[in-house]
Amino acid sequence: MDIDDSMIVTFYKKNRSKGFNLLYSKFNKHVYSICYRYTNSKEDSLDLTQEVFIKIYRAFDSFEDNRELKPWISKITVNTCLNHIRTNKKFIQYENTGIDTDLIDKNHKSTESTEDIMFYSDTKKIIESEVFKMPEMIKMVFILRHFNKMSYTDIAKTMSIPLGTVKTNLFKSRRILKEALINRGIWEV
């Protein structure tokens, strides 16, 4: 059953616990994904996901019924991640723990060689590493667009920035990534 936003809001008003459980079920993976892409740490992502849902629970009474939940939740998630990064900046390092099977897409055909799969996995890790090094605002726009598949308009709403700024930051992020991949010899000019 696909749970829509109005159903969650209705349940929440009638039974706060049941409504929150529906909200959590629908958006848990989305929130965790943003947190993980921003911190590159499973432990920090789990902590931040929990923190985000506590904030959502506390702020839900101020949610306007006619709005969509996903941009509102995304905004809380982004702000929580940005605050975490600012307060813990000197302690954050990119996790490099070897092969992460979660990074290898499940759509690989069994006919592909192990070498191709490993190259794909290594390239994906390098891209994630380079994205992690980007300035915060540029990184978040890139993450929301390419990892979370959000539209430009949703990104603008989520981050409370003009649409033009979203496009500019996305252009900058792609340029930074391209230059990094050229420097590493992965992207040929």
Residues present in the chain in total: 189
Note the pLDDT tens digit of each residue in 72-119: 898 899 889 888 877 776 444 444 333 333 434 444 444 555 655 655
* 102 contact partners, CB below 8 Å, separation of at least 6: none
Same fold, 1-93 and 97-189: no
At 46, list the tokens. Answer: 């789990």
Note the pLDDT tens digit of each residue in 116-153: 565 566 677 778 778 888 888 888 889 888 888 888 99
In the chain, which ranges are continuous DSSP H helix? 5-14, 16-39, 42-59, 69-88, 114-133, 136-142, 152-159, 163-183
* Class of the CATH domain delimited by 1-93: mainly alpha
Contact 94, 125 (CB under 8 A): no
The maximal CA–CA distance of the chain, rounded, in angstroms, is: 59
The full set of domain ranges for the chain reads: 1-93, 97-189
- Domain 97-189: give its CATH code: 1.10.10.10
